[in-house]
Every structure is written in C-alpha cells, then in structure tokens.
Amino acid sequence: MGGNPRRDRPVELGRSRFAEDVLEGLSRPRKSLSPKYFYDAAGSRLFERICRLREYYPTRTELALTRKHRVPMARFAGRGCALLEYGTGEGVKTRLMIEALRPSLYTPVDISEDALARAVPRLARAFPRLRIVPVRGDFSRPLEIPPVSDGARRVVYFPGSTIGNLTPDEAYAFLKMTRAQVGARGAMLVGVDLKKDANVLHAAYNDAQGVTAAFNLNLLARINRELGGDFDLRRFVHYAFYEPTAGRIEMHLVSTEKQTVAIGAHRFSFERGESIHTENSYKYSIAEFQALAARAGFRPAKVWTDARRWFSVHGLVNSGSGP
C-alpha cells in the first residue's frame, strides 16, 4: 500500500469533511448522516454508557468471550505480531489482547482525536514497554500506517462489530482493503454481532433509560455545536427497528412536525414524520460472515462464540488468492 495521500475532492477553505458530509446527506431525497460522526467527546461518553446498559448485550458478550478464548486467539494471531486496531474501543478487550499477544507494535487507528488522546496514555501506563504508534484516521479509506521493521506479522484487530455499520458490499470492499493492508502473511481478528431473536435486538437499540436515544440525538447537537445548526432536539425522536430481510438494525431521527432547520447559510425542510437515517447495524450468521470474508480473499480459519451464539470473533488469514 502506501503511496501518496489521495484527495478525491478539492479542498474548500473553512469546510470540514464533517460539514461536507452533513450538507450532502441532508440534501438527499432520503436524508442520512454517517454513524462515524456519533463519536465526538459527548457521543463517546454516551456510547460508553450504552455499553454498560442491561439491554445492550454486544459489549459484555464480546468481552466475556474474548476473556475466555484469549489464549487460542493469541495463538492464532501469533505472539509478537504488529497489532493494528481499528478504533480504540473502551480499552478492556484491547488490554486482554495485548496481554495475551505481547505485540511488538500496537497501532490504534481512530477518527476521534479525543478517543486516542484518552486511550493512548492509559495504555502506555498499563504497558510501559509496549511500542504504541497511534494513527488518527478514517479506516474506511486507505491509510498511511507505520512500517514494521522486524518483519513482524501484521494483524488487524477490529472488535465491537463496528463492521456492522457497513453494508455487506462495503464490508466486502473494506475486507479487501484490510487484506492488502496486512499483506501476504497477515491476519485479522474481527468481532461480528450475530443474528438472533428480533426482540433481543430491538431492546438493545431501544433501552428503557433512553441512552441510545440521547446518543442518536447527540448527532444533531453536534451539528448545532460545530456547524452552527439550529436543530431543536425536542422536535426529533429516536426510532430504531430490526429489519429481518436485510438483517440489520436501522436507526433514524424522525421529525415530529413540519419544520425548517438552518445550518449556517443552508436550510433544510422536514415533513412531519420524515426521517434522517443515521445508522445501520448489520447482523450476520457465522456462515454468512465466513462466506463474505472468503469472497474478499480471507480464509475463515477460526471462529469463537458465546454459549447463546449472540456474538462471534472471527480469525481470518490472508489466503493469498482471490481478488
């Protein structure tokens, strides 16, 4: 990989990528915003609260299964590997993996400066001899990553079922990109939420305390704070449901009335009941995810799951063939 950083559109002074994406997403006939923008400082704190909710099973299920199977996971990845993590997570799974793996290099990649700034010093304190080279970036695009000098095997760790935010087509492209990133001897450990009783899924995204609703609505608050928007948060409601045909949770913010919202000099009108689609969270069966990984050129070598089969961690190795 490597090469020059690419720019696919001209730089517009004073307009961030966030601003561009928001204006573009709200100009569509079906309005949408990217879930990657949930995680400003306030959003990251709300997400940490979601992870502790009784209804939100993914975090604790993945943590328990990682704790239980960390030795075979480390054996799969290979001790001393160069570990690249997409996201910084809330740290506990990462610590387990680092303890078990003893990587020669740890590279957390995160879009959020806040998340890196909080996570890296804590990790450095916990693992004083660990080489940590953080990269601030968006892992949905090709990245500049630090080289490995000692020929250590590259392993990408992508926990948390963040891959569920991508459509299957996007996940396929993302896996192919990651495969190029880890190279011929490389591997990947990826956490994937599984298909299950729709009521369990529904509850996880419609918690009784309304933390998920606050997390969703914070996206509008962030637009108000950073882009000078005038969204009235009382005029939008959180709406999340499981769509079994597509196998995904959809999250929306629905306008409770006809209204116009300004963002700087731009105006957006909403019908009563019109929605902004803010997130997809895809759920796979183990076989579906393995087939997707195989199409992208990974050999699905290992899979770990919990007793209820609610969550999975897949060990994928670059098969060295395929697209």
Contact footprint for ligand AVJ (CB under 6 A): 50, 58, 160-162, 164-165, 205, 212, 279, 281
Q: How far is the CB of 14 from ligand AVJ (least distance, A)?
A: 30
Q: How far is the CB of 205 from ligand AVJ (least distance, A)?
A: 5
- Alpha-carbon gap, residue 259 to 265, rounded angstroms: 16
C-beta of 48 vs 144, nearer to ligand AVJ:
48
Q: How far is the CB of 164 from ligand AVJ (least distance, A)?
A: 5
End-to-end CA distance of the chain: 15
- Alpha-carbon gap, residue 83 to 152, rounded angstroms: 9
- Alpha-carbon gap, residue 233 to 214, rounded angstroms: 10
Q: Which amino acid is at 311?
A: F
Q: How far is the CB of 214 from ligand AVJ (least distance, A)?
A: 11
Q: How far is the CB of 171 from ligand AVJ (least distance, A)?
A: 12
Dig out the tokens for 31 from the structure.
């309005």
Q: How far is the CB of 58 from ligand AVJ (least distance, A)?
A: 6
Residue 7: count of CB within 10 angstroms of its CB? 7
Q: Please name every residue paired with 82 in a beta bridge, in sequence order, or none if there are none.
A: 105, 154
C-beta of 212 vs 312, nearer to ligand AVJ:
212
> Residue 290 carries which DSSP code?
H
C-beta of 89 vs 229, nearer to ligand AVJ:
89
Q: How far is the CB of 127 from ligand AVJ (least distance, A)?
A: 24
C-beta of 89 vs 297, nearer to ligand AVJ:
89
Q: State whether the Cα torsion 77-81-82-88 is positive or negative.
A: positive
C-beta of 50 vs 190, nearer to ligand AVJ:
50
Q: How far is the CB of 281 from ligand AVJ (least distance, A)?
A: 3
Nearest position to ligand AVJ, beta carbon: 281
Contact 34, 166 (CB under 8 A): no
Contact 323, 296 (CB under 8 A): yes
C-beta of 82 vs 276, nearer to ligand AVJ:
276
C-beta of 98 vs 219, nearer to ligand AVJ:
219
C-beta of 104 vs 178, nearer to ligand AVJ:
178
Dig out the tokens for 37 from the structure.
């923008």
- Identify the three-state secondary structure at position 196: coil
Contact 303, 313 (CB under 8 A): yes
Dig out the tokens for 224 from the structure.
């108000």
- Alpha-carbon gap, residue 260 to 274, rounded angstroms: 12
**CB-neighbour burial class of residue 92 (10 A; exposed 0-12, middle 13-18, buried 19+):** middle
Residues 67, 69, 71, CA angle at the centre, nearest 5°?
100
